Amino acid sequence: MRRKVYVEGPRPEMRVPFTEVELSGGHDPVRLYDTSGPGSDPEAGLPPLRSGWSSGRTQMGFARSGIVTPEMEFAAIREGVSAEFVRAEIAAGRAVLPANRNHPESEPMVIGSKFLVKVNANIGTSAVTSSVAEEVDKLTWATRWGADTVMDLSTGPRIHETRESIIRNSPVPIGTVPIYQALEKVDGDPVKLTWELFRETILEQAEQGVDYMTIHAGVLLNYVPLAAERVTGIVSRGGSIMAAWCLAHHEESFLYTHFDELCQIFADYDITFSLGDGLRPGSIADANDEAQFAELRTLGELTHLAWRHDVQVMVEGPGHVPMHKIKENVDLQVELCGGAPFYTLGPLTTDIAPAYDHITSAIGAAMIGMFGTAMLCYVTPKEHLGLPNRDDVKAGMIAYKIAAHAADLAKGHPGAQTWDDALSAARFDFRWEDQFELALDPETARAYHDETLPAAPAKTAHFCSMCGPKFCSMKISHEIRARGMRDKSDEFLAGGGKVYVELEPRETVSRSLDH
């Protein structure tokens, strides 16, 4: 059985949520990271958890002054590390804690390569389809499946209203791409964009409580021709908008020339930069090309500029990258951006499977996570084809929670394997209900089992429909283990009955791994 539990923090009324999976037969319960929030009435919004917490500086400002904030304490408990460790990573720029002071409803979390790999879910209305209520429902649905942050990518009418509903109901940090709303204000003509209009849009969103914003300030005028001969040109919307602006005005983009002013605004609200990769590759053919890496160098410069203002920074990454070119992306980003958290869209490892890009990209996401990417932006089955519905949001989230957890295991994150071990032990013991409850998606695991063996006794059966009762390897394996135990018992007696003589080669096994 799953239930929500709270761990008391070091300050009054600080309660940090976890999902606790209770197991049968006296097995220790397993605690899982929980992003679902306290639940709310969409009309009323969530309670302002963080009201009265940090103010006056950014989390980075506090961290650099050696001050541990309540937000850092909260995030540290979720991660199972010390608050001081969280502080030190934020101070070094290697982690961010996105928390606009006007979004007190959010439960603090930390993004960085030394923490659990995070997953972002994109939602949002478009001119063609969907409503505000649907998007709030998708937000709740995404966090129920483990979304660590959510980006509202709405375009079309009612952008402001949609965003307000999303933020007031979001227990996780909310990100946006403000250039989308700015473009709506000039009727979709990129050439008419101005710094003043953009600034006004940023302030509007900052006041609402947006926690991080994608800013495509790395698309420089002289990079645009580098993308002209690509197979898929510029595939980032923000990137293409800024490229069009630069070409039309034949000058450097206002995002780049006004970057210092942007930093001041971001510092006022403690908004985190998500430096957008407007020139990311949109196909295998374009991966790791000069357009992409030229922009990354500029993002590195901007990262260091933002840090001078104590403003937190993430850096966005691709996109479409074949497996053998993934590691270079992380290595370069770490080098150029001083270890600022990398936040990548997939990458997709092949272009041939529209309708399954949650899978083509989960492969790349798991790998790039293993190499040190801090947050993965999910991709749904509808990528390249349409806007995701509820089912797509779930499919994308599941694929990416798998990728993130696989990366945590590969990085040796302390505690990550506890979950796998508990599930595998339940499987080996034929504790079917424990196995289902520990599954990333209990309902579907149970439903699949029910399809073949629906009767209740099958839930305690010592075999499954895959092998049937005669062929079950785990059943035979248990018999072997039981037999092994009898043999040990004989050995034990034959050996004089000394206790603490380890006869089984468990130690040998682990030692031999180091050969």
Alpha-carbon gap, residue 427 to 429, rounded angstroms: 5
**8 Å CB contact between 319 and 281:** yes
* Contact between 11 and a second copy per CB under 8 A: no
Short-list 352, 375, 387, CA closest to 155: 387
Residue 155 has a CB neighbour count (10 Å cut-off) of: 17
Is 27 annotated among the ligand-binding residues? no
Does residue 88 bind a second copy (CB under 8 A)?
A: no
Q: How far is CA 292 from CA 68, 171, 303, 338, in A?
A: 37, 34, 16, 18
Q: Which stretch binds a second copy (CB under 8 A): 36-44, 48-56, 113-121, 507-515?
A: 507-515
- From 1, 133, 285, 501, residue interacting with a second copy (rule: CB under 8 A): 285
| Least distance in angstroms from the C-beta of 333 to a second copy | 15
Contacts of 26 (CB under 8 A, 6+ apart): none
User: Which span sits near a second copy by CB under 8 A: 51-59, 134-142, 298-306, 409-417?
Assistant: 409-417
Q: Which is nearer to a second copy, 212 or 371 (CB)?
A: 371
2 in a known ligand binding site: no
Q: How many other CB atoms are found less than 10 A from the CB of residue 239? A: 26
Options 39-47, 63-71, 334-342, 353-361: segment touching a second copy (CB under 8 A): 353-361
Contacts of 95 (CB under 8 A, 6+ apart): 86, 89, 110, 111, 112, 113, 114, 115, 341, 374
464 annotated binding-site participant? yes
Long-range contacts of 258-263 (CB under 8 A, 24+ apart): 258/195, 258/199, 259/217, 259/302, 259/305, 259/306, 260/305, 260/309, 261/199, 262/202, 262/215, 262/217, 263/305, 263/306, 263/308, 263/309, 263/311
Q: Which of 377, 399, 434, 437 binds a second copy (CB under 8 A)?
A: 399
Helix intervals (H) in 214-346: 237-249, 254-257, 259-269, 290-308, 326-336
Identify the residue among 56, 456, 457, 512 touching a second copy (CB under 8 A). 512
* Closer by beta carbon to a second copy, 10 or else 469: 469
Question: Rounded to the nearest whole angstrom, what is the least distance from the CB of residue 462 to a second copy in the complex?
Answer: 13
Is the link from the previous residue into 156 a cis peptide, with omega within 30 of 0?
no
343 is in an annotated binding site: yes
What span, in angstroms and rounded, lies between the C-alpha atoms of 440 and 447? Answer: 13
Residues in 246-275 at the binding interface with a second copy, rule: CB under 8 A? 247
Distances (CA, A) of 427 to 16, 68, 392, 488: 30, 42, 29, 25
Considering only residues 469-488, where is the footprint of a second copy by CB under 8 A?
Answer: 469-474, 476-481, 483-484
CB of 423 to a second copy, least distance (A): 5
Site membership for a second copy, residue 402 (CB under 8 A): yes
The pair of three-digit structure tokens given for residue 232, joined into one six-digit string: 């898929």
Please choose, from the candidates 155, 150, 184, the residue with its C-alpha nearest in 3D space to the C-alpha of residue 274. Answer: 150
Candidate segments 108-116, 144-152, 180-188, 258-266, binder of a second copy by CB under 8 A: 180-188
How many residues contact a second copy, by CB under 8 A?
Answer: 128
How far apart are CB 407 and a second copy at their closest, in Å? 7
Crossing angle between the packed helical segments 326-336 and 357-370, to the nearest 10 degrees: 50
Site for a second copy in 213-242 (CB under 8 A): 224-229, 231-237, 239-241
Q: Rounded to whole angstroms, how far apart are CA atoms 408 and 394?
A: 21
Q: Which of residues 182-201 bind a second copy (CB under 8 A)?
A: 183, 188, 190
Nearer to a second copy by Cβ, of 64 and 384: the residue is 384
Q: For the beta carbon of residue 187, count every other beta carbon within 10 angstroms.
A: 7
**What is the distance between the alpha carbons of residues 190 and 239, in angstroms, rounded to a whole number?**
11
Cα–Cα distance for residue pair 360/21, rounded to 1 Å: 31
Q: Which stretch binds a second copy (CB under 8 A): 54-62, 132-140, 301-309, 443-451?
A: 443-451
Classify residue 262 as exposed, middle or buried by CB count within 10 Å of its CB (0-12, 13-18, 19+).
buried
Contact with a second copy (CB under 8 A) among 38, 42, 80, 156:
156
Instruction: Determine the interface stretch with a second copy among 98-106, 111-119, 264-272, 440-448 (rule: CB under 8 A).
Output: 440-448
Among 213, 370, 376, 377, binds a second copy (CB under 8 A): 370
Of the candidate residues 5, 88, 197, 409, the single one contacting a second copy (CB under 8 A): 409
Q: Which one of 87-95, 122-130, 168-176, 265-273 is the stretch in contact with a second copy (CB under 8 A)?
A: 122-130
* Smallest distance from a second copy to CB 431, Å: 13
Angle, helix 416-428 to helix 390-410, in steps of 10 degrees: 100
Q: Is 249 annotated as a binding residue?
A: no
Q: Is 320 annotated as a binding residue?
A: yes
In this complex, which beta carbon is closest to a second copy, that of residue 305 or of residue 359? 359
Write the CB contacts of 68 (distance below 8 Å, at least 6 apart in sequence): 62, 83, 84, 86, 87
- What is the helix (H) or strand (E) element at residue 121, kind and residue range? strand 118-123
Q: Please check if 467 is assigned to a binding site.
A: yes
User: Smallest distance, Å, CB 77 to a second copy?
Assistant: 22
Q: Which stretch binds a second copy (CB under 8 A): 3-11, 295-303, 335-343, 398-406?
A: 398-406
* Residue 288 near a second copy by CB under 8 A: yes
Is there binding between residue 5 and a second copy (CB under 8 A)?
A: no
For a second copy, the closer of residues 149 and 154 by Cβ is 154
Interaction pattern, residues 41-70, with a second copy; x per rule: CB under 8 A: ------------------------------
Question: Is residue 349 near a second copy by the rule CB under 8 A?
Answer: yes
Residue 124 annotated as lining a ligand binding site: no
Three-state DSSP class for 79? Answer: helix
Token code pair at residue 67: 């001050």
User: Sign of the C-alpha dihedral, residues 404, 407, 413, 417?
Assistant: positive
Binding residue ranges for [4Fe-4S] cluster: 464, 467, 472
Binding residue ranges for Zn(2+): 320, 384
